[in-house]
Copies of this chain bind each other. A is one copy, B any other.
Amino acid sequence: MTRALNVAQPLLAAGEQSPKQEELLRLAYRLMATKGMHRMTLQDVADAAGMSKANVVYHYKTKEDLVLTVMQWVLERVAARVVQATVSAKGRDAKIRAMVDAIFVDPRRNRDFYIVYAELIAHSSRNGRFADLNGWFREIVTGQYADVIQSTSDRSKRSVAEAAMVVRALIDGLFLQWLEEPEWEARHREYKSLCVRSIIAFLDSER
């Protein structure tokens, strides 16, 4: 059940970063969310981190590598939180609630994450490295959903995989709509609630 915890790092050996490097990733991540990965320049990152542009390039060879490292760093953290949530809760509904809680953390962070994630998805179709990262993340998260469903029902393997896809679709799809919401900050709770209810309703529907 905890297998996903030990999944190897996907691409770059980004793994553990020093506090200083982690701070730079955090700043770059914030910039990507606000300006977009294309409009964010190396100079922006350098300014935010209080260092020269040349030094950013020195540490992260190219801009693409930097962006990839940032995304990997974020995805690892989110994936770990999802995995953590499922192991600590008992029972199907509790696990689902915990998973959704792990994803719907707080409005601001959620927003940043899904904006960046939307760009990752769009870019995956054009760049294999982004596609690989995306695929790695997808396997972990959907795998977690599948584990929860399998451990609390007697579905066939195929049925479990399908249900996990549907669960993921509900979460991602509702998030996308929430992103469009003008009052996204206030509506966060409603969407979270709707998310849990619709997942449980769907899983119950086929019993």
Contact = CB atoms under 8 A, between A and B. Distances in A.
A111 interface: yes
Given A119-B122, A126-B36, A173-B173, A194 B165 contact: yes
Interface string A102-146: 000000000100010011011111100001001100100010000
B179 A174 contact: no
Interface in A77-116: 111, 115
A204 interface: yes
A160 interface: no
Nearest to A191: B165
- Give the oligomeric copy count: 2
Interface in A168-204: 168-174, 176-177, 179-180, 182, 194, 198, 201-202, 204
A205 interface: yes
- Chief secondary structure at chain A's binding surface: helix
B36 A138 contact: no
B173 A168 contact: yes
B115 A118 contact: no
A162 interface: yes
Given A36-B122, A202-B205, A205-B204, A174 B166 contact: yes
A170 B176 CA distance: 11
Given A115-B125, A206-B201, A168 B172 contact: no
A21 interface: no
24 contacts: A34-B126, A36-B122, A38-B38, A111-B125, A115-B125, A118-B118, A119-B119, A122-B122, A125-B179, A135-B180, A138-B177, A142-B177, A165-B177, A166-B194, A168-B173, A169-B169, A170-B173, A171-B173, A172-B172, A172-B173, A173-B173, A201-B205, A202-B202, A205-B205
Interface of A: 34-36, 38-39, 111, 115, 118-119, 121-126, 131, 134-135, 138, 142, 162, 165-166, 168-174, 176-177, 179-180, 182, 194, 198, 201-202, 204-206
